[in-house]
Amino acid sequence: MSVSVSTNDDLVEQDLQQPPASLAWLMWTLGGLLFLIGFFHRIAFGVMGDPLRVEFALTATTLGTLASFYYYSYMPMQVPVGIMADRFGPRKLLTCGAGITALGTVLFVMSTNYWMLGLGRLLIGGAVAVAFVTMMKIAQHWFDLKKFSLLTGLGLLAGNLGAVGAGVPLQFLIGEIGWRPVLLGLAALTGLLAVATWIWVRDDPEDLGYKSYDLKGARHEPHGSILSTMKDAICHRNVLLLTLACGAAAGSALTFGGLWGVPFLRTAYGFSSQEAATITTVMLLVWAGSGVLLGFWSDQSGKRKVPFITGAVVAALGWAVVTQIADLPLWLLYLALVVAAAGSSIMIVGLSLARESVPRRLQGTALGWCNMGVMIGPMILQPLTGFLIDLNWDGTLENGTRVYDLTTFQVGFIPMIVWLLLAAVLICFAREKKFGS
């Protein structure tokens, strides 16, 4: 006859209650605020590009490269951040990330030359790189994981509130007080966020006497070396495919909405800078809102591949209409932008599929790989678009500044359309298989 024995630890765990929703949302929101600030910095060049181009005598290529300095540090940080999130928890990473972001912003504000600007942007990109993966780690411990895709979509929506601030409001503030005072104020707010994060954020509900949503003992599982952990995650076929494919989705939305959409709309349709900034801001909000809806649908249906492939094809067609067909009726332009933005939200599904494709101990690392792919997109596409625009420039100058015609923009946008179609093909080879969700 066998006897079942319960340990004191088991009895204590059974008595623990799940954390109150308000406390869980506080943890997630503080992580979301750094992601919002990071998104502001990511998108702000769409509005700041002209003042910077004039003040520092930048060409389209050097401006695109400067914008991509953010991604040069953000992208390679994703996998290390995933490993550190698995091992050390979100609290320390978020606090350090917010503090270094504040310092990088101050350096950018004080810049007197191109290389100081680039260094400041490198610091900002590397520091805010901790936000998304750690926000998802908080979701893993503080929320029911059946809501993971929904929370991922809400995270993107939170980030896009930063994009809203980097649109028309930033355009107005730059006109009133200049770009330096605006960013200096943001640096102060980011420093305050670092303090608040250290005071309030906790890695797991157990740290405050509540029951964790994470599997028992998962946060204490043994880990291999950093290199072996990175290799173990990327060797899963889905993680590798998603790292390559997700860049197309974010790359297209951020290349258009975060840098080249405003000058394109001014050239192609005669919009003012403020009107063009409003359009790209709304487009980014549609992108984020679609991510919430797509994540909810994917969670409810349990499907990942079909939404991703469908979205990639729809996005490619939408961007082709927006960028390659001249003189669209405005209603059709706006509809095509909505379709393109909605289709480009597919990386929400990709992140969920990456998490489900690996054992529990590798989930943060897999998210890091996949999010690195998300950043590869704009890191490549923003300067590549600028390079192609410069390559096809007809030599026109106005007050010493290069003027680009519609054809140059159309050529510049071709790579992002091709990459989206390639992403749809890649995900055809992915597998929908879950590991201990």
Q: Report if residue 220 sits inside a domain.
A: no
**Of 259, 292, 43, 274, whose CA–CA distance to 165 is shortest?**
43
**Two tokens at 129?**
């790189």
What's the domain count of the chain? 1
CB contact set of 3 (below 8 Å; sequence gap of 6+): none
Q: pLDDT tens digits, residue range 303-351? A: 788 889 999 999 999 999 999 999 999 999 999 999 999 999 888 888 7
**Two tokens at 133?**
């993966």
Q: Report if residue 12 sits inside a domain.
A: no
The answer to whether the CB of 88 falls within 8 A of the CB of 375 is no
Q: Report if residue 213 sits inside a domain.
A: no
Q: Report if residue 6 sits inside a domain.
A: no
**Of 429, 376, 137, 363, whose CA–CA distance to 246 is shortest?**
376
Q: pLDDT tens digits, residue range 205-240? A: 888 888 887 765 444 555 556 667 767 777 677 888
pTM: 0.70
Q: Report if residue 317 sits inside a domain.
A: yes
Range of the domain at 276: 20-204+226-427
Q: Which residue has the higher pLDDT, 420 or 70?
A: 420
Q: pLDDT tens digits, residue range 341-396? A: 999 988 888 877 887 777 777 777 777 788 778 878 888 898 899 899 989 888 88
Question: pLDDT-derived band of residue 435, with 50, 70 and 90 as boundaries?
Answer: very low
Q: Report if residue 13 sits inside a domain.
A: no
Q: What are phi and psi of 66, to 5 degrees?
A: -60, -45
Q: Report if residue 165 sits inside a domain.
A: yes
Q: Report if residue 267 sits inside a domain.
A: yes
Q: What are phi and psi of 398, to 5 degrees?
A: -140, 115
Q: pLDDT tens digits, residue range 87-113? A: 788 899 999 999 999 999 999 999 888
The β-bridge relationship of strands 397-398 and 401-402 is antiparallel
Query: Does residue 1 surpass a pLDDT of 70?
Result: no
The answer to whether the CB of 419 falls within 8 A of the CB of 381 is yes
Indicate the angle between helix axes 363-391 and 130-142, nearest 10 degrees.
150
Region 140-154 average pLDDT: 78
Averaged pLDDT score across all residues of the chain: 84
Give one DSSP letter per residue of 87-121, joined into a string: HH-HHHHHHHHHHHHHHHHHHHHT--SHHHHHHHH
Q: What is the CATH number of the domain that holds 335?
A: 1.20.1250.20
Share of the chain above pLDDT 70, in %: 91
The answer to whether the CB of 191 falls within 8 A of the CB of 113 is no
Quote the pLDDT of residue 102.
96
